[in-house]
Amino acid sequence: MVKENSYGAKIKLTIEFEGNMKELCDVISKSLSIPEFWFDTISEPPYETIGYCETFGFEIDIQKDSVMADSYIFSAVTTDTFKEINEDRMHNLSIWFSSYFKLVSKLKIRISD
C-alpha cells in the first residue's frame, strides 16, 4: 500500500577514478557489499555505456562524466517513485551517503548538482 504523502530518496555524486567503468563498479560493489553491476549501452547518441545495479530498493547507475576526465557520475533513486519525483517529494541523501561512501571505499567523491 502506497501512502499519499510518501517520499522517495535520491543520491547523486561524482567519483574521480582513473580506471575504467568496470573496475570502478567492482570497487563500488565490494565497498558497499552490493550485487555486481551489469552494463548496457544507451540506444541514442552519444551511445555511452552505463553500469546498473539494483539493491535495497534503489536503482543505481554509473556513467562517465561528460565534463570532467577520469570522473564518473553515481546516481541512485528509490525504485518506483515516479509520482514522488514528479511531485518533488524526494529526500536528497547525497551529503550523508558521500561521507559513508568515502569511509568504506577510499574513493575521491564529491556531491553533484
Which residue range forms the structural domain that includes residue 65?
Answer: 8-111
Position 1 in a domain: no
> What is the pTM assigned to this prediction?
0.89
Looking at the structure of the chain, the number of domains it has is 1
| Share in percent of the chain as helix, strand, coil (round to 5) | 25, 35, 35
Which helix (H) or strand (E) is 40 found in, with range?
Answer: strand 38-41
C-alpha cell of residue 70? 577520469
Which helix (H) or strand (E) is 104 found in, with range?
Answer: helix 94-105
- Could you tell me the CA-to-CA distances from 6 to 75, 79, 84, 101, 111 in Å, in that order? 21, 13, 7, 26, 25
The domain that contains 15 carries what CATH number?
3.30.310
Percentage with pLDDT > 90 across the chain: 70
Position 38 in a domain: yes
pLDDT digit string, tens, across residues 67-112: 888 999 999 999 888 888 888 889 999 999 999 999 999 999 999 8
Q: 39 pLDDT exceeds 90?
A: yes
Q: What is the rounded distance in angstroms from the CA atom of residue 60 to the CA atom of residue 69?
A: 21
